[in-house]
Amino acid sequence: MKINVLCSLRATILAALLIAGLTGCGMLNASASNAGGKAETLPEVSSGPETSGAAEAPAGDPGRVNLLSLSTGAFVVRSTSKIDPLGTFLLIDDHEGAYGSLISEEGETSAEYVIALPDKVALDSLELCGTSAPNDAESAKDVVVQVSDTSADVGFETIFDGSMTNEPIAKAQAFKVAKKIPGRWVKVIVKNTHGGKQIGLSEIKGFGDRLAAKPIGNVTGAYTAPMYYGSEGESKIYLKQTGTTVEGCVVSTNSADNSRRVVQLISNGAMANAALLTFTQNILDSDNSISKGNPAIIVFSPDGQKFYSRIVDDIANAEDFYAQSSVLGTKVGNETYNCPQWTAKTSSISDELKSTGRVRFYGINFDTNSDVIKPESFAVLDKIVQTIKANPDWHFVIEGHTDSVADDAYNKKLSERRALSVKAYLIKAGVPADRVETAGYGETMPIADNASEAGRAQNRRVELVKK
């Protein structure tokens, strides 16, 4: 299912963006107000060097993590609006200044949204953004934010009660909370708009203290989603996790004869944190050859029973919000299926290299701002060793890629050093040095949107390329 948010206004808004030269939510020095609603100015957030593996805060400001982001495990579990539940995730999908972002049906000018968090937090500040159209009357106006440590239904206490101004191009508006209250559920109450007939709130961000970090659990199991990225009817998604690495497949059922067929592969994935899975979504043709590989994510709800997934449809335009599609799904059990990666006599990495010429790996992690490989990466690297040894006539390039945090020169050098570290591991494992070259591209080849934390996690990767 494609998220379409004011698509008809896209060209107009893009033109306005170019003319105005303005940036979107979260990308400005925001004006803040205290609990009494008076404005003050917050300092600009500094950006540190790029990190790899689990999503981490910029080194220049290690405490500024958006605790209400999909990327950190936030999940919308309830809404009083009649809008498709998928639309409510625009609140937390971390797309800064995404076009439109209407989170209610026409005629609904007030609504409540409950966000579940994986960890107990104590928020000290918020950032809110209206819609992206200049002076759009649909932007939210009076907003209340509450926190509960009891459940998604009761126990809420107010931490913010204030008003948003009708800013152009979804300018970020930052607010201090009235008091810090520990909790795991956040309720956003939109009382009204600036006169429009729908609620426009393109994003809410929350900053503060994470009081307890949830460890990475195991997402092995069976999930279902309607028409999962082009598959027919309701699809089953099977995942198997080993350590932090995850692989699986998507199985579609033919409505005519109830026959089942694997239509997509979930390849070379890794858990970036307790909620975020980054991976490559491979299309499997009828002859079982791989024809396409798209970067994708799955974010699991804190209770593990639901998921939100997003895929980049057009890598050439990876940083375009409309080059992405999203779906919601549900866990249905722990049943297993014989996905090709688990039963094939030949390596799925070899098959992907034969079909597409390159394979992305998300399970190769490094210490922050370093080329030192983390131990949890060794299992993935050993698969690469096996693939290279199994194809003695092939030669390869190890590519290092980063996100856009830090400057270009720093990222390029870091990606080069990391590619060399991977090569050193392969050589130590018995791979001839003359069969492997290295290249570091820094941030120059994004496969996802660098404006979001999840996109940055997808862009931090190592790729194996067949020459």
* Nearest alpha carbon to residue 43 among 58, 28, 23: 28
**Partners of 433 in the β-ladder:** none
pLDDT digits (tens, 9 = 90+) for 289-333: 777 678 888 999 999 999 999 887 665 555 555 556 888 999 999
What is the pTM assigned to this prediction? 0.78
CA distances from 449 to 125, 201, 315, 321, 340 (A): 25, 20, 10, 8, 30
Would you state the pLDDT for residue 172? 82
Has residue 155 got a pLDDT over 60?
yes
Q: Which amino acid is at 127?
A: E
Q: Which amino acid is at 435?
A: R
pLDDT digits (tens, 9 = 90+) for 71-96: 889 999 999 999 999 999 989 987 65
Residue-range domains of the chain with CATH: 7-210 (2.60.120.260), 221-341 (2.40.128), 345-466 (3.30.1330.60)
State the residue for tokens 């004869």.
257
Separation between Cα atoms, residue 165 and residue 176, nearest integer Å: 16
Band of residue 246 on the pLDDT scale cut at 50, 70, 90 = very high
Band of residue 163 on the pLDDT scale cut at 50, 70, 90 = very high
Separation between Cα atoms, residue 397 and residue 124, nearest integer Å: 46
**Backbone angles phi and psi of 424, in degrees to 5:** -60, -40
Would you state the pLDDT for residue 267? 87
Separation between Cα atoms, residue 128 and residue 172, nearest integer Å: 6
* Nearest alpha carbon to residue 125 among 48, 216, 61: 61
Would you state the pLDDT for residue 455? 81
